[in-house]
Structure 1
Amino acid sequence: MANRRLSLADVAAEPRPLPSRYLTPEDLVEMFDLPSVETVYQWRRKRTGPRGFRVGRHLRFDPIDVRAWVNAQLGEAA
Structure 2
Amino acid sequence: MSMDPAPQAADAKLLSAWLTREELADELGVTNKTIARWHTEGSAPPCTKVGKKILYRREAVQQWLISRERGQL
TM-score by length of 2: 0.70
Detail structure 1 runs of 4+ shifted over 3 Å in the superposition: none
Deviations 1:1-26 (A, max 9, x none): xxxxxxxxxxxxxxxxxx83310111
Aligned with residue 57 of structure 2, among 62, 66, 73: 62
**Paired residue total:** 57
Which position in structure 1 is the counterpart of 2:19?
23
Q: CA RMSD in A?
A: 1.5
Is the radius of gyration larger for structure 1 or structure 2? 2
Unaligned segments of structure 2, at least 5 residues: 1-14
Structure number with the bigger relative contact order (C-alpha 8 A, sep ≥ 6) is: 1
Unaligned segments of structure 1, at least 5 residues: 1-18
- Report which of the two has the higher share of strand: 2
